[in-house]
Structure 1
């Protein structure tokens, strides 16, 4: 005789869970609405301006070989960004 496996009452289990609510701060919500997708992604992973600058600088150095420091004029023969 085949044995029946007990069945879970999925609807009953879901009814027992408390409702999930997410209420972002008003300023956070407004910031996301006014930002570009790229900026929002950086905000979501909490990348600050300094980390963003260092990442961009590393990418530029990788692509161009050398990158002048801010305020420094590029040397002759170097690509201008």
Structure 2
């Protein structure tokens, strides 16, 4: 992945992930899963994105009054930690 302009600031928020954010305004840019080298990017960063929502995480913690995508894969907080957190 490459960035135009200033490199994002980085913060290791857990044993398994690093967050990237704008050093000037603090806007969240990405979440980097270290074990799989996956980057999860904020959809709002893209002009006219042609993305389809395929995964929702921490769904057990969202307000009950909305659903983002009825056919997307959904993971609870525990499922996210089970899949991505390193075993101790």
Shorter-chain TM range is under 0.3
Give the structure-2-normalised TM-score: 0.23
| More strand as a share of residues | 2
| More helix as a share of residues | 1
Of structures 1 and 2, the larger Rg is shown by 1
- Greater relative CO (CA pairs within 8 A, separation 6+): 2
